[in-house]
Amino acid sequence: LPEADTPSPERIFAVVVAIMQSQFDLDESELVPGAHLVDDLDLDSIDGVDLSVKAEEELGVEIQPEDLGELQTLQDVVDLLHRLVTRAR
Amino acid sequence: VSVSIQILVSGTTDRAMNRTLRILGTGASFLLFGLSSAVLGMLLYPLLLLVPGGRVERELRMQWLIHQGFRAFVGFMKAVGVIRVSTEGAEALRAPGAVLVVANHPTLIDFVLLGSLMPQLDCVAKRAIWANPFMRGIVRGAGYVPNDDGDSTVAACAERLRAGRNILLFPEGTRSPGDGSLGPFHRGAAHVAIAAGHPLLPVTIRCVPRGLMRGQKWYDVPERRMHFTLSVAEPIAVPEADAPRGTGARRLTAGLREHFEKRLALA
């Protein structure tokens, strides 16, 4: 497949930001790459499930529950999703 | 002058005496509590397994026994002069139909006080208790919900409500900070309310003067007898918005926190 079919990290970041805004009532200004998922964005384990489900729908990837445990920041989420979309293509 | 000094001195002695008695009373209460928990979990639970009936019947019988134990414990603490308990609107706790009780958690005995008022009450407890040989009979027997994973814990709590069972959740997840404020609220209680479409029944617990709080030892009894007030407010309904549950739970939890802050005059 051509390279262009794989969403860029920037595109994935935008997708994650949009999910967090719609699902968790978060403001775009808080959603910076370095934002800590728990300490800054106040996400909990249920949010983790919802974020996974939405990201799977949007990006056509499959996220394993154990992948989520290691995520600390918003950038970690983007990196994980980028790895998964690259592998999926 | 000498008369008033005399009065002052004897007043102080009385108070000191009184306080010593209350320390002994508190110690005796907790000793009794520990012993009866062990009897309940290690002796009565195995016996209860022999009584015919399904899992649900068994759990409700165990919860009834726990309720009787809590009533006896609270009665003992009152009798020895350690606590006084007032309630406001407590009849709502025993109204027909399931209630989802949410309370602040200032002291060690909040669950016991609420449990003494409700013959059937489910609750969420730390997973580690299921491995504790003294306690596991009680939590297993009563069918309490282990707090291990957000989603499955919420589903299990919502299931209890749908089955018509009362459940108690502390949004702080643990005792409040010892300074009289509220700890951060988790959104589990709001998620349960949303999942089951069930209103939250807020109970504000106060203890004046402060005792049995976080950071206090059990023998750190205050100058005067502890006076507990349990105030049951009007239920808080789940909004009928079709917002995602993450958003809904955030809004409901913010409203709940505001409710308790107002009641505790923290806001």
- Say how many CB pairs under 8 Å bridge A and B: 35
Of B149, B154, B246, the CB nearest to A47: B246
Separation between Cα atoms, residue B103 and residue B230, nearest integer Å: 9
ipTM > 0.95, yes or no: no
User: Tens of pLDDT along B102-135?
Assistant: 999 999 999 999 999 999 999 999 999 999 888 8
User: Tens of pLDDT along B210-240?
Assistant: 889 988 888 888 889 999 999 999 999 998 8
| Contacts for A62 with CB less than 8 Å, ≥ 6 apart | A56, A84, A88
- Taking residue B208's Cβ as centre, other Cβ atoms within 10 Å add up to 14
**Neighbouring-strand partners of residue B84:** B227
Prediction pTM value? 0.89
User: Tens of pLDDT along A26-82?
Assistant: 999 999 999 999 999 999 999 999 999 999 999 999 998 888 878 999 999 999 999
Per-residue pLDDT band for B48 (boundaries 50, 70, 90) equals: confident
* Owner of token pair 């300490």: A39
User: What does each C-alpha distance from B24 to B13, B80, B156, B225 come to in angstroms?
Assistant: 17, 9, 40, 13
pLDDT, position B4: 56
Of A23, A45, A48, the CB nearest to B244: A23
A53 CB near a chain B CB, below 8 Å?
A: no
| Contacts for B71 with CB less than 8 Å, ≥ 6 apart | B116
pLDDT of B201 above 80: yes
A58 CB near a chain B CB, below 8 Å?
A: no
Would strands B200-208 and B226-232 be described as parallel, antiparallel, or unpaired?
antiparallel
Q: B244 and A45: CB-CB below 8 Å? A: no
Minimum CA–CA partner of A51 in chain B: B246
A25 CB near a chain B CB, below 8 Å?
A: yes
